[in-house]
Amino acid sequence: MNTNAGPQHRSYIDEGYSLKSWLTTHDHKRIALLYMVSITLFFFIGGAAATIMRLELATAPGDLVTSQTYNKFFTAHGVIMVWFFLIPSIPNVMGNFLVPLMIGARDLAFPRLNLASWYLYTLGGIFTIGALIAGGVDTGWTFYTPYSSMFSNTNVIAVIIGVFIVGFSSIFTAINFIVTIHKMRAPGLTWFRLPLFIWANYATSVIMVMATPVLAMTLSLVAIERIFQVGIFDPALGGDPLLFQHLFWFYSHPAVYIMVLPAMGVASEIITCFSRKPIFGYRFMAYAIIGIAVIGFLVWGHHMFVSGQSMYAGMMFSLLSFLVAIPSAIKVFNWTATLYKGSISFEAPMLYALGFVGLFMMGGLTGLFLASLALDVHLTDTYFVIAHFHYIMVGGSVMAYLGGIHYWWPKMSGRLYPENWGRFAAIVIFVGFNLTFFPQFLLGYLGMPRRYHQYPEELQLLNGLSSAGAAVLAVGYILPLFYLLWSLRYGKVSDSNPWKAKGLEWKTPSPPIKGNFEETPIVKEEAYAYSPQKS
């Protein structure tokens, strides 16, 4: 038994074991675990759809599923992964668990709203999954009009309702985070003493609050257009489909930063801890987060280079898109500088975080190709784009999510996961990921379009490699599910700070008590007060 888990510290898990005690809880840590369970479920549903797609693409002729079924699978994959995994994963699981802990608060500002947000997430999920069971949708996750408003089947409406509801879930979580970070920081915890994870979640929440309502209203208009056969997006009715694209990408481009900014926050926490050095250029890291969030709102038009918007708009959006590279590069350089001369240890979270940096860089650099107007005309809607956004969104967000799960697992569960299994899974995922998606850059460059379920024989080898990689990746994703569950029962009991990390969340017992802290902590030092060890 460790020293700080004596009988006087009843952890949040011991507050009650009944199902009801979980489903009616107001404790942010329990709600985080509720999210973790449902998000994991959605991750594997979305992953199953991807498996079918890679199986189909393993051979050149379309012999496994029909084109219509294939359309439904990639739509299901996109909708579930974007709205039910990538966007909520880090903010709603790790943010929920850690934001109050890291700033020394007893809970989020609005605990009941927080629980309501989980119920909305679940309700939205039921609508979406229901629509998929009822026959699926084949519009792609972008719901482009007039296809979605006139020609596709009626399940579109159910999926739109699902996405609409889950949008409210993210708005509520975001409002909760913004208010909590503004008003409930512990004494002494000034803005520039906040961990970068908090900065990242703050910026993400601002993006969520500013972008999500636009998506909600836009999709509502599509649904109304479908029901009444009148609308503002259908050219046959005098409307303009470009308007839909503008409004849609006004949300959906910033949404990429909703996925990747929290991932950057997680990576910063892990890298500084396992190199035992304060993060290099802390203030610039914080400014870069804000910079990415702001510029992220100005670049949506780069999704529309070939849509028929004006050439000058294209040039402007191209220029602005290049600008995002500056704060992103600042982050990568500063992580590298943090590693430099650090006493680095390669625990599993560190492997995930380093993997994240590598994959994010790869995704970012290929983003420069796509931001160039002339190149984009060649590469648009090919597998190059698929590979690019998977490197950013999946390589970035999922690597960091898993890294964060491993890093804070002892805090969440009070148990250590088996370290060697953790390292092994991290390596399998990194290898599997690159094997899956690197060939897709080449495929795209050779001209293979996205969303096709068959292709010419010449592309067989690269597609075969990609499908094989997907199998490796699947193994890598399933492994943590097993050993993490195993560790809940058999893992070594963790003390309050197994990584010797800095930060308020490590100053409370593992797992923490209901109100997080026995008494409100007072912060007297800067963030990341690690001292480098001389070797």
Partner 1 sequence: MAEQFDDPKQEHEASTLGMWVFLGTEILFFGVLFAGYIVYRFIYPEAFAEASRHTNIVLGTINTALLLTSSLTMALAVRSIQLGKNRLTAGLLLLTSLLGMIFIGIKGFEYYEEYKKQLVPGLNFTYEGPHVPQVRLFFYLYFVMTGVHALHLIIGSLAAMTIAVMAWRKSFSARYFTPVELTGLYWHFVDIIWIFLYPFLYLVSRA
Q: Which residues bind partner 1 (CB under 8 A)?
A: 100, 105-111, 171, 174-176, 178-180, 182-184, 209-214, 216-218, 221, 224, 227-232, 237-240, 243, 247, 515, 520
Q: What angle separates helix 282-295 from helix 241-274, to the nearest 10 degrees? A: 170
Q: Considering beta carbons, is residue 240 or 518 the nearer one to partner 1?
A: 240
The count of C-alpha atoms lying within 13 angstroms of the C-alpha of 75, restricted to the half-sphere facing its C-beta, is 27
Minimum distance, C-beta of residue 99 to partner 1, in the bound complex (Å): 12
Q: Which of 77, 391, 98, 415 is nearest to 266 (CA)?
A: 98
Report the Cα–Cα distance between both ends of the chain, in Å, rounded. Answer: 32
Minimum distance, C-beta of residue 443 to partner 1, in the bound complex (Å): 36
As a whole number of angstroms, the distance between CA 57 and CA 52 comes to 9
Q: Which residue has the tokens 């610039």?
A: 284
As a whole number of angstroms, the distance between CA 71 and CA 53 comes to 10
Other beta carbons within 10 angstroms of residue 452's beta carbon come to 12
Minimum distance, C-beta of residue 1 to partner 1, in the bound complex (Å): 29
As a whole number of angstroms, the distance between CA 86 and CA 78 comes to 10
Report whether 357 contacts 267 (CB < 8 A): yes
Minimum distance, C-beta of residue 220 to partner 1, in the bound complex (Å): 8
Q: Considering beta carbons, is residue 488 or 522 the nearer one to partner 1?
A: 522
Report whether 101 contacts 504 (CB < 8 A): yes
Minimum distance, C-beta of residue 104 to partner 1, in the bound complex (Å): 11
Structure tokens at 63: 């012999």
Minimum distance, C-beta of residue 310 to partner 1, in the bound complex (Å): 14
Minimum distance, C-beta of residue 400 to partner 1, in the bound complex (Å): 26
Q: Considering beta carbons, is residue 80 or 222 the nearer one to partner 1?
A: 222
Residues 6+ away with beta carbon under 8 Å from 82: 141, 255
Q: Considering beta carbons, is residue 228 or 312 the nearer one to partner 1?
A: 228
Structure tokens at 449: 């379009």
Q: Considering beta carbons, is residue 232 or 350 the nearer one to partner 1?
A: 232
Residues 6+ away with beta carbon under 8 Å from 131: 137, 155, 158, 159, 162
Going from the C-alpha of 126 to that of each of 38, 220, 224, 326, the distances in angstroms are 11, 18, 21, 40
Minimum distance, C-beta of residue 517 to partner 1, in the bound complex (Å): 12
Q: Considering beta carbons, is residue 210 or 290 the nearer one to partner 1?
A: 210
Q: Considering beta carbons, is residue 107 or 505 the nearer one to partner 1?
A: 107
Q: Considering beta carbons, is residue 213 or 464 the nearer one to partner 1?
A: 213
